[in-house]
């Protein structure tokens, strides 16, 4: 078994994303089971394979692009690119060819659903599960569907930042409730994931400016 295969298998066993410490331990376990060589420099080998096989790294060898760095090289959290959810689109967004064209009316949409490389990585960290209720919408590829909500909203009048610490991964129901200010947020009740920390300032802003009801206390 090649070292990169051991690292890939370790991340698969760990759910797609993990800290370096978890990856080191799982790689060692895998190589012991496979009777593969284990050198004194196991940790260095793991870091080398992560960077050699990731386009996020300046050391990428450009043959395989298997891994991604969650918060940037040196932050200690890595994931499998195969675990990152792909863009999900509704199946009925195109007009049927055999029907008379519908009357179109211009409307203003007040909810913004951003699906960027950054938010997809954060979703992968949380295994595509809502950080409030733990639910997901099952999809045909078994990855699940969730959305990324900016706790301090982007744009006027809030001018929230588009950074990981201002994002919470939620199901569509809780996304709408947060957008409408129907619930507050309690950081102690939000599911955590290594590599993704939510800002106390963003939580405070939501609870004092956006939310119209008391802090969410439902036991999930």
The reported pTM is 0.68
Alpha-carbon span 141 to 119, nearest angstrom: 19
In a domain, 95, yes or no: no
What pLDDT is attached to residue 117? Answer: 83
Do 18 and 74 sit in the same domain of this protein?
A: yes
Do 125 and 204 sit in the same domain of this protein?
A: yes
Do 200 and 154 sit in the same domain of this protein?
A: yes
Other Cβ atoms closer than 10 A to 169? 27
Is-contact 177 183, C-beta < 8 A? yes
The radius of gyration of the chain's CA atoms, rounded to the nearest angstrom, is: 21
What pLDDT is attached to residue 220? Answer: 45
Longest dimension (CA), the chain: 70
What pLDDT is attached to residue 151? Answer: 96
In a domain, 92, yes or no: no
In a domain, 219, yes or no: no
Nearest to 19 by CA among 30, 11, 28, 9: 11
What SS3 state is found at 213? coil
Is-contact 121 85, C-beta < 8 A? no
Q: What is the CATH number of the domain that holds 21?
A: 1.10.10
Which of 27, 59, 83 is the last residue before a domain boundary?
Answer: 83
Is-contact 54 37, C-beta < 8 A? no
In a domain, 99, yes or no: no
Do 64 and 127 sit in the same domain of this protein?
A: no
In a domain, 88, yes or no: no
Number of domains in the chain: 2
Do 73 and 147 sit in the same domain of this protein?
A: no
What pLDDT is attached to residue 139? Answer: 86
Specify the length of the chain in residues: 220
The tens place of each residue's pLDDT in the chain, 220 residues long, gives 899 999 999 999 998 999 999 999 999 999 999 999 998 899 999 999 999 999 999 999 999 999 999 877 888 899 999 888 765 544 444 555 555 555 555 555 455 555 588 898 899 999 999 999 999 999 887 778 999 999 999 988 999 999 999 999 999 999 999 999 999 999 999 999 988 999 999 999 999 999 976 555 554 4
Is-contact 16 194, C-beta < 8 A? no
Is-contact 85 143, C-beta < 8 A? yes
Q: Kindly give, in sequence order, each residue whose CB lies less than 8 Å from that of residue 35, ignoring residues fewer than 6 positions away.
A: none
Which of 31, 64, 83 is the last residue before a domain boundary?
Answer: 83
What SS3 state is found at 78? strand
In a domain, 94, yes or no: no
Do 58 and 131 sit in the same domain of this protein?
A: no
In which domain, by residue range, is 73 found? Answer: 3-83
Alpha-carbon span 61 to 54, nearest angstrom: 8
Alpha-carbon span 29 to 35, nearest angstrom: 10
In a domain, 66, yes or no: yes
């Amino acid at each position: 078994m090649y070292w990169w295969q051991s690292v890939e298998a370790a991340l698969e066993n760990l759910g797609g994303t993990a800290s370096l410490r978890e990856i080191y331990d799982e790689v060692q376990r895998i190589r012991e089971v496979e009777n593969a060589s284990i050198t004194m420099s196991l940790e260095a080998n793991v870091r080398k394979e992560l960077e050699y096989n990731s386009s996020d790294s300046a050391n990428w060898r450009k043959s395989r692009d298997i891994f991604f760095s969650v918060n940037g090289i040196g932050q200690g959290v890595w994931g499998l690119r195969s675990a990152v959810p792909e863009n999900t689109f509704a199946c009925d967004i195109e007009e049927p060819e055999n029907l008379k064209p519908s009357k179109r009316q211009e409307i203003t949409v007040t909810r913004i659903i951003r699906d960027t490389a950054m938010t997809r990585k954060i979703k992968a960290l949380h295994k595509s599960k809502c950080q409030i209720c733990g639910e997901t919408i099952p999809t045909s590829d078994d990855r699940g569907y969730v959305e990324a909500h900016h706790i301090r909203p982007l744009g006027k009048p809030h001018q929230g930042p588009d950074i990981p610490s201002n994002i919470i991964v939620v199901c569509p129901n809780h996304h709408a409730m947060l957008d409408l200010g129907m619930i507050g947020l309690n950081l102690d009740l939000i599911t955590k994931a290594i590599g993704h920390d939510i800002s106390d300032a963003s939580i405070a802003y939501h609870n004092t400016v956006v939310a119209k009801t008391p802090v969410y206390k439902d036991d999930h």
